[in-house]
Amino acid sequence: MKVEAHYDLLVVGGGITGAAVLHAAAERGLRALLVERGDFAGGTSSWSSKLIHGGLRYLKSGQWRLTLESVRERERLLVERPGLVEAQPFLMPMFDGESPGPATLSTGFWIADMMAGRRTSRRVDADDAAAAEPLLTRNGLRGAIAYRDGVVDDARLVLRLVFDAVKLGATALNHVEATLLEPGGRVTGARLEDRHSGERHEVTATVTVHAAGVWAGQAPGAPRLRPLRGSHLVFPQALLPLRRGLAWMHPRDRRPVFAHPWEGAVVVGTTDVDHADAEAPARVSAAEAAYLVEALRKPFPQFALRSGMAVSAYAGLRAIVVPPGRENAAPSAMARDSALWSRPGLVGITGGKLTTHRATALAVLREAARQGLRITQRPAAAAPVEGRLAGRLGADGAAWVAARPADERRPLLGTPYALAELLWSLQAEQVRGLDDLLLRRTRLGLVAADGAAALLPLLEAPCREALGWDAERWADEVARYRETWAARHAPPADNAPP
């Protein structure tokens, strides 16, 4: 663990918000350190719905500022992160007897388009909707709203922010636990401990940012949080070969649900249920899986899909701030605003969104400046890089992969991923476990059968060479990865009631 004694900014938490704060600080020439107790993006930020969206549901609940911020940040990311954030056409079908009706939906999308500064939606009739997505049922179909959102590999977005910040001079450490130091009532830094080696250091910082998401409730001065779980099923595209994303209302409770193509598969989500203990791993329950399968019967009654047909499942926790008097509100009725607070030497932030990470990071830096952090340098404009690999790995990673032999660049197991991408991550992206490699550096563990177990023999030699593992450590890692995948990502059985 290589750290300095003092930093301008110490960031605790390596999800999307912490990564965005680190990146914004590095752009401005600050000496910044980020520490994450697990892997970068190992919490909520790798288990999102994979969408960079305009937040129409926020408009419905009267959160105008959040909708405005979301649509504008979506448009910016589509321009600035090509290859990583990609435009995704969507349909929102409208069926007979459903509420809200066509006029209300059209008005909502029109308002969001005006906020975004460009028209991205239009109303289409039933024939045009069925032509755009042939899998969509014609039973009771009145028409649809055709619109455009963004799709993203959420973990890779976090990793790009982290490693781009490191390239600008920042330091980022994963699998390092931080204990805040607060002598005399002022946070002055943290005691750091490497969770693998046990190595310890103390660092001081002008300002410390606590950005631990749903786990931020442990920070001094934090608001009361309510962890809510959002669960998803990932189906092979061969079983549900969608041309575009679909969003509709669940027939049981009128909550918005969706299905959209992602990384060669189809993601179906999401639920919104209480998760009693933020320290307990988020797992998709059988009842949630049944809820999602029930949702699919509305637009796709011709498919006899079951949860056991999914290639994987995943769940993430949302950090929802609980205002006074809202303790017993229904989960889906809770506002999705972020919360920012401060104490001497500390800025806390939680509830940030994938889409609005940049705006959240800038708000954090403004608050840190009020705490005495001097920011004098303005960020230089970065030219977007083109292409899938450059978007995900950065220009250096894409060039390295492109120079590898052809057999290392062939897609693995029918996915978009190649062995060369895994080799790059092993040498350049702070991989410390198989789950780091297969669930976040790539998403093979979500889009390949059995968590990509068929690749493990191929990966043994490069993992052992790059990470210094002996045969016993390799066996332990394989066992741990397979146990983790079975517990958290194997699709639930098909025996839950709807």
Q: DSSP per residue over 282-308, as a string?
A: P---HHHHHHHHHHHTTT-TT----GG
pLDDT of amino acid 498:
42
Which are the contacts of 60, defined by CB distance < 8 A and separation ≥ 6?
108
Side-chain-side CA neighbours of 442 within 13 Å: the count stands at 27
Q: Is the dihedral of CA 440, 444, 449, 455 positive or negative?
A: negative
Q: What is the pLDDT of residues 38-53, one digit of tens each?
A: 999 999 999 999 999 8
Q: How far apart are alpha carbons 184 and 345 in whole angstroms?
A: 11
Which are the contacts of 275, defined by CB distance < 8 A and separation ≥ 6?
227, 228, 229, 282, 317
Q: How far apart are alpha carbons 320 and 297 in whole angstroms?
A: 30
User: Which domains are present in the chain?
Assistant: 6-45+155-224+334-370 (3.50.50.60), 86-149+227-317 (3.30.9.10), 394-467 (no CATH)
| Of 378 and 61, the one with more pLDDT | 378
- The closest of 374, 392, 437 to 158, measured between CA atoms, is 392
Q: What is the pLDDT of residues 206-235, one digit of tens each?
A: 999 999 988 887 788 888 888 899 999 999
- The closest of 117, 45, 110, 43 to 74, measured between CA atoms, is 117
Cα-Cα end-to-end distance for the chain:
50
Percent of the chain clearing pLDDT 70 (strictly above): 96
Instruction: With beta carbons less than 8 A apart as the criterion, state whether 212 and 12 touch.
Output: yes
pLDDT of amino acid 163:
97
Q: How far apart are alpha carbons 470 and 348 in whole angstroms?
A: 41
Q: What is the pLDDT of residues 128-171, one digit of tens each?
A: 999 999 999 999 999 999 999 999 999 999 999 999 999 999 99
Across the strands, what pairs with 228? Answer: 274, 318
Instruction: With beta carbons less than 8 A apart as the criterion, state whether 16 and 352 touch.
Output: yes
Question: For residue 179, which amino acid is it?
Answer: T
pLDDT of amino acid 97:
83
DSSP string, 134-196: TTS--TTEEEEEEEEEEEE-HHHHHHHHHHHHHHTT-EEEESEEEEEE-GGG---EEEEEETT
Helix (H) and strand (E) counts for the chain?
A: 14, 18
pLDDT of amino acid 188:
97
Tokens 């103390």 label which residue?
202
Question: For residue 448, which amino acid is it?
Answer: A
Tokens 């340098």 label which residue?
377
The mean predicted confidence, pLDDT, of the chain is 92
Instruction: With beta carbons less than 8 A apart as the criterion, state whether 149 and 125 touch.
Output: no
By residue count, the chain amounts to 498
Residue 432 has pLDDT above 70, yes or no: yes
Residue 56 has pLDDT above 80, yes or no: no
Q: What is the pLDDT of residues 324-365, one digit of tens each?
A: 766 667 776 666 677 899 999 999 999 888 999 999 999 999
Token pair, residue 287, equals: 């009842």
Across the strands, what pairs with 427? Answer: none
Using pLDDT thresholds of 50, 70 and 90, give the confidence band for residue 495.
low
Q: How far apart are alpha carbons 13 and 35 in whole angstroms?
A: 6
Q: Is the dihedral of CA 188, 194, 195, 200 positive or negative?
A: negative
Q: What is the pLDDT of residues 257-281, one digit of tens each?
A: 999 999 999 999 999 898 988 888 8
Give the pLDDT mean for 436-452.
Answer: 98
Q: How far apart are alpha carbons 224 and 318 in whole angstroms?
A: 13
Give the pLDDT mean for 19-37.
Answer: 97
Instruction: Classify the phi-psi angles of 279: left when phi > 0, otherwise alpha if psi is within -120 to 50, otherwise beta.
Output: alpha
